A and B are shown apart, each in its own frame.
Chain A
Amino acid sequence: MGFSQRHLLGIEPLRPADIDCILDLAERYVDLNRAASKHGEALAGLTQINMFFEASTRTQASFELAGKRLGADVMNMAMQASSLKKGETLIDTALTLNAMHPDLLVVRHPQSGAVDLLAQKVNCAVLNAGDGRHEHPTQALLDALTIRRAKGRLHRLNIAICGDIAHSRVARSNILLLGKMENRVRLVGPPTLMPAGISEFGVEVYEDMEAGLRDVDVVMMLRLQKERMDGGFIPSEREYYHRFGLNSAKLAAAKADAIVMHPGPMNRGVEIDGEIADDINRSVIQEQVEMGVAVRMAAMDLLAQGLRREAMG
């Protein structure tokens, strides 16, 4: 079965077959990225614009590299410094860029739903690189590829997602993806960092870290934003680390071969102990970054194939 989507706006609209489709193609790009010559032609002649309305180093670099490796002409636009400061609306910005005939638009925006709104106004394929607290689909896909390669499968696994679930688009996309692929998902964290209605998500919720990590195959840590540390959502950084920071004692509750993941950038000593982050037997954090480029190459390749089919009628 082929890829069914015109855009990649989130995990929510994807079928399991779409997810397999992206991951299978990404495996091939992992090999390409490890080869001496890293050039593909899948996006040759196409124009990719990266519009980041929110600061990003890693995701933007990953999308840029993915586009360049497949031969696209890539342009980066740091939108914080740009026209929005002059009062232009998101839609006008989108229409302006649309007039330049891009083929792929990669968008990050601090507001939930902003990328959906933009996708309604342009003719090209839009990839969501993170919108507010809503979704970050390529992150969930790269996490899925990392898990699949480490565990040999992407179903019937026990996976704990730990930390600030409420404000995390990474958590939302992962909950949706891992659920669609029939895994058991646990959420671990203080109740002030859990979204409302969480009991209806088809997940198990734990407020105790060790209980939450018991016998899991995968431990997925989330970044805790600095501005949430002081008194508002949790009492203090040190109390958070004590109760929810991942260290070897807490990790001992998980399966002996459990892997540790983190979307980065990490706060060592806040949500994760430096020793675990660097443990090559447990941590797959560097591999996640590698998979990120491959997954983004695959996603853009599939969307470009769709554009070509559309152009041919």
Chain B
Amino acid sequence: MMRSVFINARLVDPEAGTVARGALEVEDGRIVRRIEGEVAPDGGEVIDCGGKCLAPGIVDLGVKVCEPGERHKESYRTAGLAAAAGGVTTMITRPDTLPAIDTPETLEFVTRRANEEAPVRVLCMAALTKGREGREMTEIGFLLDAGAVAFTDCDRVVSDTKVLSRALTYARSLGALVIGHPQDPGLSAGAAATSGKFASLRGLPAVSPMAERMALDRDIALIEMTGARYHADQITTARALPALARAKANGLDVTAGTSIHHLTLNEFDVADYRTFFKLKPPLRAEADRLAVVEALRSGLIDVISSMHTPQDEESKRLPFEMAASGAVGLETLLPAAMRLHHSDGIELPTLFRALSLNPARRLGLDCGHLGAGAPADLVLFDPDAPFVLDRWTMLSKSKNTPFDGARLQGRVLGTWVAGRAVHGEMTDA
């Protein structure tokens, strides 16, 4: 029997919505109980948290690990190390690999790679349609049996509504969660920025924020029609929020996420064509960012993801329009989220509700909280510790972070998966 006690911690509890001094007792990889106030250790390993914050480990919904196909950009090993360093204890990986993860055989391959290589938990999503081509649905049943936790074609929108409605209907019969990327494919074709004065001045092809609402409206109508379980991967505009609120109020099984980058950056950060800020969907106006922050505070937005998307230097060292989209985020997710705490006044339990509790619940996982019986997946962090990010110190194989050189506040001190330390030096007192 392995027993350990985390003492002298500020416990961030997203379920109760509290931050309180206390200790946490862990046995055989699971949380046994919380102890309020000071505690005298009585045997087992003692981990002194030094008065820092201990929270349920992050469940990052939508991580791209580039296996199979582009292991030079990110492998399960490097992604796993980056996750551990970032306080991410469960990675939910995307199927937009080369080839796409659209058969049980491919899914078994990546699951095996993940279990061999990554020090954190890895759960895989599978494609909704074969080859992510939007024509035929994948073997949703077999893929569920093989361990797929959700189905998504990622940034390729299924434009044929008949194909999508059938896939949703079939997914509903199996209780599978479908994840959509709400972007109207026509309006957003070729876009590298959000339309407005900034994109026009820079001469960049741009998409109206309306493209997000149109696609969300369409998806919601199909959910109403089919009764499927649905999660929107990234809601990033003010205009999409009322549609999301209506869908929830009408009792549809709909949730929504957003990316940490859309919560902390805006279109002006692109400045003189900085390609590390080229994302999908593109960064938005400040008014949109603020609206999405408010939706996070109110709970309308359920999940914050890193949308970790590794790109090598070559694919970013190109003229903006030709450069690849996406940014890495596993290691910067928590420090960037602390910007929301320090600058936008979001409370720590609210942040961990969106980082840990909600994604775990949505996927039916038993982690993401500090209650008795939960796996001891934990992150210890100092929300105030300042540092300047140097991208070359990151563990991700790709270094395409928009936060290079940024002043950040909030450092991960230690990460535990099932009670086992996977990152940090504070493993014993």
Contact = CB atoms under 8 A, between A and B. Distances in A.
A117 interface: yes
Nearest to A13: B272
Interface in A48-97: 89-91
B319 interface: yes
A112 B195 contact: no
B400 to A, nearest CB: 16
A91 B317 contact: yes
Nearest to B198: A197
B204 A112 contact: yes
B11 to A, nearest CB: 47
A230 interface: no
A133 interface: yes
B115 interface: no
Contacts of A223: none
A132 interface: yes
Contacts of B208: 196
A196 B200 contact: yes
A197 B317 CA distance: 28
A299 to B, nearest CB: 20
A135 B203 contact: yes
Nearest to B195: A196
B319 A113 contact: yes
Contact of A172 (B203, B317, B320, B322): B203
B204 to A, nearest CB: 6
Nearest to A197: B197
A44 interface: no
Interface residues of B, number: 21
A195 interface: yes
A82 B91 CA distance: 45
A197 B204 CA distance: 13
Contact of A134 (B196, B203, B206, B318): B203
Interface in A99-150: 109, 111-114, 116-117, 131-135
A112 B273 CA distance: 9
Contacts of B321: 111-113, 132
Contacts of A186: none
B199 interface: yes
A226 to B, nearest CB: 19
A31 interface: no
B203 A169 contact: yes
Contacts of A227: none
Interface string B165-200: 000000000000000000000000000000111111
Nearest to A113: B273
A310 interface: no
Chain A interface category by residue count: 20 to 34
B160 interface: no
A201 interface: yes
B202 interface: yes
A90 B197 CA distance: 27
Contacts of B195: 196-197
Contact of B314 (A12, A89, A132, A201): A89
Interface string A179-201: 00000000000000001111011
B249 interface: no
A195 B321 CA distance: 17
A116 B272 contact: yes
Interface string B316-328: 0111111000000
A81 B195 CA distance: 33
Contacts of A12: 201
Residue of A116, A135, A196, A200 ringed by the most chain B CB atoms within 10 A: A196
B274 to A, nearest CB: 10
A140 to B, nearest CB: 14
B237 to A, nearest CB: 14
Given A134-B203, A196-B195, A197-B198, A90 B272 contact: no
Given A89-B317, A111-B322, A196-B208, A132 B203 contact: yes
Contacts of A132: 203, 319, 321
A197 B203 contact: no
B199 A197 contact: yes
B102 to A, nearest CB: 30
Interface string B297-318: 0000000000000000010011
A134 B200 contact: no
A26 B322 CA distance: 36
Given A113-B273, A116-B273, A196 B319 contact: no
Nearest to A166: B200
Contacts of B199: 196-197
Contacts of B202: 112-113, 134
Contacts of A200: 196-197
Contact of A109 (B197, B314, B319): B319
A260 to B, nearest CB: 26
Contacts of B200: 166, 172, 195-198, 201
A37 to B, nearest CB: 41
A131 B319 CA distance: 10
A135 B202 CA distance: 8
A109 B198 CA distance: 20
Contacts of A90: 318-319
Contacts of B203: 112-113, 131-135, 169, 172
Contacts of B206: 196
A132 to B, nearest CB: 5
A193 B394 CA distance: 45
B202 to A, nearest CB: 6
Interface in A185-225: 195-198, 200-201
Between A90, A135, A197, A198, the greatest number of chain B beta carbons within 10 A of the residue's beta carbon is seen for: A197
A96 B350 CA distance: 53
Nearest to B320: A113
Nearest to A199: B197
Nearest to A165: B200
A64 to B, nearest CB: 24
Q: Which 3 A-B pairs have the closest CB atoms?
A: A134-B203, A133-B203, A197-B197
Interface of B: 195-204, 206, 208, 272-273, 314, 317-322
Interface of A: 12, 89-91, 109, 111-114, 116-117, 131-135, 166, 169, 172, 195-198, 200-201
21 contacts: A89-B314, A89-B318, A90-B318, A90-B319, A91-B317, A111-B321, A113-B204, A113-B273, A113-B320, A113-B321, A117-B319, A131-B203, A132-B203, A132-B319, A134-B202, A172-B200, A195-B200, A196-B196, A196-B206, A197-B195, A197-B197
Given A12-B201, A112-B321, A201-B200, 13 more contacts: A89-B317, A90-B318, A90-B319, A111-B319, A112-B202, A112-B203, A112-B273, A113-B204, A113-B272, A116-B273, A117-B273, A134-B203, A198-B197
